[in-house]
Amino acid sequence: MRIGEVARRADVSVKTIRYYEHVGILPPATREPNGYRSYDSAVFDRLTFTRASQAVGLTLGEIREVIAFRERGEPPCAYVLDLIEDRGAALTVRIADLEALRTDLRDLATRGHALDPAACLPREICHVIKSPG
């Protein structure tokens, strides 16, 4: 199967498939005598796994690591669980940060609506936004 057909059937772009090969998500494709890449159905397993992994927030670099385990013959499950737990912890921190920011924004909006634009001095640019200090 050629790259275009793989792309259509997996609903990814041809560019993406070449890129995945470039970054090691896909092994170097075998080639037809004319140089065209040739694939068998195993490519769909890779692409499906890659998509599912991206959906849970793994980067291509991490996905490549996971695949590397598998290629060394080791089940990557333990590594995957670590990754997932790290991602989860990082996500918790990030969500907390964003929630704090959202709170700030709401306070700012509330305060801002109570302020008079005519009382905003050029020197401070806009009195709605003040430095935390």
Partner DNA sequence: ATAAACCCTGCCCTGTAGAGGAGAGTCAAG
Partner DNA sequence: CTTGACTCTCCTCTACAGGGCAGGGTTTAT
Q: Does 123 bind a copy of itself (CB under 8 A)?
A: yes
User: How many other CB atoms are there within 10 angstroms of residue 84's CB atom?
Assistant: 14
- Pick one of 11, 33, 35, 45: the residue that binds a copy of itself (CB under 8 A): 45
Q: Does 3 bind DNA (CB under 7 A)?
A: yes
60 and 77 Cβ atoms separated by less than 8 Å:
no
Q: Any bridge partners for residue 31, and if so which?
A: 37
Q: How many residues bind a copy of itself (CB under 8 A)?
A: 54
Q: Does 70 bind a copy of itself (CB under 8 A)?
A: yes
Site for DNA in 76-115 (CB under 7 A): none
d(CA 52, CA 57): 9
Angle at alpha carbon of residue 55, lines to 50 and 61, rounded to 5° = 50
Enumerate binding residues for DNA (CB under 7 A).
Answer: 2-5, 7, 13-16, 18-20, 29, 32-37, 54, 59-61
